[in-house]
Amino acid sequence: PPTIVLHVYGRDAEGKAIDFTTEELRLTSNGTAVVPSITDSFPVGTFTVFLIDIPTGVEEQLPAIQDAIKQFASPGSGMQEQIDYIAIFQVGESGATQLLPPDNFYNSVQNFFVDDLAPETEATALIDSIVSVLDQVEELNPNPEMVSSVVVMSDGTDVVSTLNEPSDIITRTASLNMPIHTIWVDSTDLTFDGQQQGQAFLQEISDSSYGVATTLDNSEGLAEIWQHIAGFRERARVRYIIDDLTGGSFDVELSLASDPAISDSMFVEMPENQPQVDLMLPPGSDTITLPNLEEPLPVRLGATVTWLDGLDRGVSSVRVLVNGQDVGEVLVEEMDD
């Protein structure tokens, strides 16, 4: 204190990650407008679940499906090794089956596809499988700070799901605030009308969840999905200073100046016994020049220590740190003030 640091991410009207370095921010702390600053960003990672639908009719597309996932899990693509996580599920006759548990290594994905996947011999329950994956994503996510995404690779048709309706997918993605990206896979078993119906269904899912819809043979569309996912890897550090800090709970609200509707809020808990240390430096003495590194330079600082609840407490130990390194302890009983 009195510096508060917020870890922030957001998405725009198209579902893409907001670049906060290019946005003017508005921030209120405990009802008072303050001036925030963005100092830097840091990676927290992403979690991407691939749901592969491979019924009869898509066998010829299986190598392309595997290549697309391997492309995602490669340098310079959608996944960054040891930071981002990936999991793979397969649509079954009654629900989704986990093939690869959450993993953050490229080789794990490459090795997984050493043996080709076996297509389903019967019709697959696409809707029920999507909902079952959505129900598991939060539990599977290795780090709650990571943004989760689902990538569905399918011909978009489903005649066997009985547990859920398409509207259930939309309801769940809205409650989870999670995008579903869809990649349409051509099937030799479908008529032209069936192909259009499948594409329309996948497009609707992506549109309703702020995801991206494309086809398996569209390299630019795949790259757009990978870029969309990677855009949520970083968090912006937004800092602001409280002039008069007090203990207790206070609310913080952050919004875009260009679109105040894009906002979020949270509560900050400040312990009542939080200490504050003020160093009193004479004017102009905040910069020290060492003319000779071989001779010690005496430095004297005045300091006060207070607590937010106003109670008096004793100081039992004072340590000296230089550039973050602990260089020794000052005996309190030997200090004049």
pTM of the model: 0.81
Q: Which two tokens stand for residue 75?
A: 């340098």
Positive or negative, the CA dihedral 253, 83, 202, 130 is negative
Q: Is the pLDDT of residue 116 over 90?
A: no
What is the arithmetic mean of pLDDT over 193-205? 95
Let me know: does 55 contact 155? Beta carbons within 8 Å: yes
What is the arithmetic mean of pLDDT over 304-328? 84
- pLDDT single digits (tens) 224-245: 999 999 999 999 999 998 877 7
Task: Respond yes or no on whether the N-terminal peptide bond of residue 2 is cis (omega within 30° of 0).
Answer: yes
Q: Is the pLDDT of residue 172 over 90?
A: yes
- pLDDT single digits (tens) 101-113: 999 999 999 999 9
What is the arithmetic mean of pLDDT over 33-59? 92
Let me know: does 36 contact 240? Beta carbons within 8 Å: yes
Res. 14 pLDDT band, cuts 50 70 90? confident
Q: Is the pLDDT of residue 2 over 80?
A: no
